[in-house]
Structure 1
Amino acid sequence: MPENREGLVPIQKPDWGAAASPQQIKATWIGHSSFLVEMPSTRQSRGLRFLMDPVFAKRMGPAQLVGPKRFSPTPCTLDELPLVDAICISHNHYDHLDICTVKHLYADKAQKRTAAGLPPLHIFCGLGSKKWFVHSCGIRPEHVTEMDWWDEVNVSSQDAAVSGTVRLVCTPSQHDSRRSPGDLNQMLWCSFVLLLAGPAPASVFFSGDTGYRSITVDDVAAKTPLADLPHCPAFSEIGEKYGPISLSLIPIGCYSPRTFMSGVHSAPEDAVSIHFDVKSQLSVGMHYGTVRGGISAHYEDVTEPPKMWRSEGEARGLVWDKDMRLCNIGETVVV
């Protein structure tokens, strides 16, 4: 960890929302786009836990030898993570899919899961991904579920220690995928919605990595207002089908220069639009403050995204800490 973190995201030891009620959503930020989400329980036991795009690597690249280096460490070790019930992978880029993390969670914690009476860890991912998880991570085929956009599956447990049924939906995003030179867009990229039905419905939208619109050089030269540019319609569709969303986790960083990055990464103003489109009740910014990524490192100060996230939201009438917020790395947001 850098000795001087002035202006950077604070880091704290996670407590995973230990003081919160089992009937509340608990989402703990591990950094970048990694979140541990615990859905509400239907009893006093804990609810189902979903680990979203978990990455514990120090470098985001092959063999952890090349690629952007993490400047904000994880708030805990892999061994300190609570047992989770499922991993959701939005796409296969190195900053969202860490092979060492997946292997550790699947194999090294298998005995702990068995001792706790829990089934094997299950992975949910986009189409075309199962073969990679089986051959690269040693995961049994029956423990990987590929999903197309708008596919839905029930994840359920009525164990003494874990209870609830969550409807997991694979939803669209505006991005791409590549793990090696020969697999461009061979594995589907996606976002996810987690739905808990009941007297007090609860839902989480995890956007993964996504753009919202595409801004060209001509658009910049013409000073075309953002409102006049076409944007991805998927988020409004998600809002219509599954909104209102209790909690949304939306990317706000690594977006510059806009003429290069806008198609795949959301700027803070895009993230605010996604908040409205999915009918979010509370949105938390992510995908910033952890990795100084690629070309954006030369155009975007790492302290800029959180400031713009708040100012853009307030400019459109959102109330800070009510409709939108940020959290420390290691902090748990409770809804």
Structure 2
Amino acid sequence: MARLSVRSLSSRNLAPEKLPAHWNGNPPTSFKNPWPSFSKQHGLLDVFKIRFGNERNFVPVPSRDELVKVRKPTWGRESPIWQQEFKATWLGHAGWLVETACLAPTTEVAPSADSKEYRGIRILFDAVFSERTSPVEWFGPKRYTPTPCTLDELPEVDLVVISHNHYDHLDIATIAHVYKKSKLAGREIHFFAALGNKQWFLGAGLGILENEVSECDWWDSLNVDVEGVGSVKLTCTPAQHTSGRTPFDAGQTLWCSWVLEDLQSSKKLFFSGDTAYKATSAKTACPAFKQIGEVFGGFDLAMVPIGLYSPQWFMSNVHCCPEDSLEIHKDIRSRKTLGMHYGTVRGGLSAQYEDVREPPRRWQECCAKEGKWETECWLCDVGETVTAA
């Protein structure tokens, strides 16, 4: 069994604070977005207006041929140089399976592409395989695009990385399956999440051990080594969003984005999780993304959200519209950015306002307007594998 080790590194924060601005209390009992770009938290009156107001413009989900395509994943194994590539496979919504480049073969003849022993570190980001993004199976937002594979068909996973605890990003069924599969195979696995989330993993009744979970504050950085497979640096970075799994725990756990640095290929990946860029009522954009771009010097591959932003006056402080997503792409200095967080499940509020075909269309249009479409900014099919090359 390959040994998995996690070691803390120095914080990547260029301007550390005695009391972080996103903390409420010391130690923190909850968290907040510390920037003017968040503007304000909407109250119950705004929620009622959105849910039942006369501005609603419900558009039914169209037929499958008008939606994002779904293909059976190959995980990039068809490539003649798959061993050397840093790659990511979209699992729908904000879920990704990322695999780092493989270590150089120790023999003159490289193992065949179907060799289970020859691979990079596999990292699962925010994967959701359940039918509903809800605490129950019979109610709540239901996916309209299927997963590209079953959980049994998912390759073995080394690391599970979660951006925040909303049901469309932290799915207990997926976590349970991946953990059980690892234990039955005698493999080590490790979970990563932001502050306050560790207790969820330990208390979910899955048997997850305390030393199998790391929780991080913004700018905390870790070195992760999987013996004989590879090494990565993983850094928890800021995002403008919120958290909560019930009506009573909003903001009690931290939300984040993540940076992954592959020490084999020197490739860098940015995973935004769920984030906004700028509330429509705000005068300035969230400064965190330019800071991330400066600290890491740009990225080879990035995933940013482009959907579930309607109505914008209400959603823009926590979700990106495609035009804002393009600004994040530029701020973080990404060479290749993929749109995500669309085409899979409708939000409880945005379902009343947003045609599910609109986010990819707007993303393509705004990127093309600046000459970045399919030169820097892309879309992919659910189940498609994209490389950082």
Q: What is the CA deviation profile of residues 182-203 of structure 1, one whole-angstrom value per residue up to 9, with x for unaligned ones?
A: 32111110000000235x5201
Native 8 Å contact 1:31 1:289 kept in 2: yes
1:272 aligns with 2:326: yes
| SS of equivalent to 2:284 | coil
Letter in 1 for 2:174: T
Stretches of structure 1 that go unaligned for 5 or more consecutive residues are 220-228
1:5 aligns with 2:71: no
Residues 3 and 179 (structure 1), Cα distance of their counterparts in 2 relative to 1, 3 Å cut: closer
The correspondence for 1:68, drawn from 130, 141, 160, is 141
| SS of equivalent to 1:50 | strand
The correspondence for 1:215, drawn from 280, 299, 304, is 280
The correspondence for 2:164, drawn from 85, 91, 97, is 91
Give, in angstroms, the shift of residue 155 of structure 1. 1.0
| SS of equivalent to 1:275 | helix
CA–CA separation in structure 2 for the residues paired with 1:240 and 1:261 = 27
Native 8 Å contact 2:298 2:333 kept in 1: yes
CA–CA separation in structure 2 for the residues paired with 1:135 and 1:37 = 27
Q: What is the CA deviation profile of residues 138-185 of structure 1, one whole-angstrom value per residue up to 9, with x for unaligned ones?
A: 3111100000000000111232xxx22100000000000001233211
CA–CA separation in structure 1 for the residues paired with 2:262 and 2:181 = 29
Q: Matches of residues 121-270 of structure 1 in structure 2 within 5 Å?
A: 121-136=189-204, 137-159=206-228, 163-197=229-263, 200-216=265-281, 229-270=283-324
Native 8 Å contact 1:31 1:74 kept in 2: yes
1:16 aligns with 2:75: yes
Question: Which stretch of the first structure deviates more once superposed, 274-283 or 61-70?
Answer: 61-70
Q: TM-score, normalised by structure 1?
A: 0.90
Identity of aligned residues (%): 49
Q: What is the CA deviation profile of residues 253-303 of structure 1, one whole-angstrom value per residue up to 9, with x for unaligned ones?
A: 000111100011100001100000000000000000000111111211100
Stretches of structure 2 that go unaligned for 5 or more consecutive residues are 1-60, 106-117
The correspondence for 2:381, drawn from 316, 319, 328, is 328
1:107 corresponds to: 180
Native 8 Å contact 1:243 1:280 kept in 2: no
CA–CA separation in structure 1 for the residues paired with 2:182 and 2:370 = 45
Residues 68 and 34 (structure 1), Cα distance of their counterparts in 2 relative to 1, 3 Å cut: same
Give, in angstroms, the shift of residue 306 of structure 1. 0.6
CA–CA separation in structure 2 for the residues paired with 1:187 and 1:37 = 25
Letter in 1 for 2:89: T
CA–CA separation in structure 2 for the residues paired with 1:4 and 1:300 = 16
Letter in 1 for 2:85: Q
1:80 corresponds to: 153
1:28 aligns with 2:84: no
Give, in angstroms, the shift of residue 3 of structure 1. 10
Question: Which stretch of the first structure deviates more once superposed, 230-239 or 39-48?
Answer: 39-48
Question: Which stretch of the first structure deviates more once superposed, 35-44 or 285-294?
Answer: 35-44
Paired residues, number: 313
| SS of equivalent to 2:360 | helix
Native 8 Å contact 2:299 2:333 kept in 1: yes
CA–CA separation in structure 2 for the residues paired with 1:111 and 1:322 = 43
Native 8 Å contact 1:103 1:138 kept in 2: no
CA–CA separation in structure 2 for the residues paired with 1:8 and 1:314 = 20
CA–CA separation in structure 1 for the residues paired with 2:376 and 2:242 = 29
Letter in 2 for 1:317: G
Question: Which stretch of the first structure deviates more once superposed, 165-174 or 22-31?
Answer: 22-31
Computing the radius of gyration from Cα coordinates, the structure with the larger value is 2
| SS of equivalent to 1:277 | helix
CA–CA separation in structure 2 for the residues paired with 1:279 and 1:131 = 35
CA–CA separation in structure 1 for the residues paired with 2:163 and 2:263 = 23
CA–CA separation in structure 1 for the residues paired with 2:302 and 2:258 = 10
CA–CA separation in structure 1 for the residues paired with 2:131 and 2:297 = 36
Letter in 2 for 1:205: F
Highest RCO, 1 vs 2 (Cα 8 Å, sep ≥ 6)? 2
Give, in angstroms, the shift of residue 108 of structure 1. 3.5
The correspondence for 1:37, drawn from 93, 98, 101, is 98
1:59 corresponds to: 132
Give, in angstroms, the shift of residue 326 of structure 1. 0.5
Native 8 Å contact 2:230 2:263 kept in 1: no
Q: TM-score, normalised by structure 2?
A: 0.78
Query: What is the RMSD computed on CA atoms of the aligned residues?
Result: 1.5
1:297 aligns with 2:370: no
